Amino acid sequence: MKSFVAAVAVAAILAFGASLVLNDYFQKPVDVAFTTGGVRL
């Protein structure tokens, strides 16, 4: 049971860390992501 609780805790921490990395480095707002030099999609 202890190993299951530890695994759930580690999975939650990793998921939280991944969400921070994705939000800070990979995702952009829609007005930035879909805007080019002359055309807005």
End-to-end CA distance of the chain: give it in Å, rounded: 52
pTM for the full predicted model: 0.57
pLDDT at residue 3, rounded to an integer: 96
Give the whole-angstrom CA distance, residue 41 versus residue 33.
10
Is residue 23 over pLDDT 90?
Answer: no
pLDDT at residue number 12: 97
* Long-range interactions of 8-17: CB distance < 8 A, separation 24+: none
pLDDT per residue over 6-18, tens digit each?
999 999 999 999 9
38 DSSP assignment:
S
